[in-house]
Amino acid sequence: MSETKVKCADLVQGNYERECEYLNGLIAEDDEDDSIFDYGLSFSWMPAAEPGKPGYFCWLLSWGGPQDEFRFYVDPDMCLYKVEYWYLDWNDGAKVDVAMGDTYRPEWLTYMWNSWEETETLKHLIEIERAE
């Protein structure tokens, strides 16, 4: 009997929805012990992997097998134009495009992005990467 391996494409939407529910709960609670800004493993700038491809900010939530992350794409003026949620496992991966319109945009995304924009955090992360 052959064993069927579950693909990331089969899991990505459910994992995305659970993450959004959890993150929305963190901002609703406004509890400093479970701060949304303390959630995840890292937040960093990932320069373009090849010419013609955009770099992005990566919010790594978990790693190993599997891992998941949000990728935030900005234009040269640091305006957010695309967000993706990625679910990755060994030699497999799938993504969900996060809704960007005001009606469907997740609450946590608006909350966090507005907070990041109000500081120099985003520009600073890019400068650190360029200096290395």
Give the confidence band of 3 by pLDDT, cuts at 50, 70, 90. Answer: low
Contact 20, 110 (CB under 8 A): no
Q: What is the pTM of this model?
A: 0.86
pLDDT digits over 35-50, tens only? 888 889 999 999 988 8
**Structural domain boundaries of the chain?**
8-131
Taking only the tens place, the pLDDT of each residue in 20-73 is 999 998 888 665 555 888 889 999 999 988 888 889 999 999 998 799 999 999
Higher pLDDT, 97 or 49: 97
pLDDT digits over 72-89, tens only? 999 888 889 999 999 999
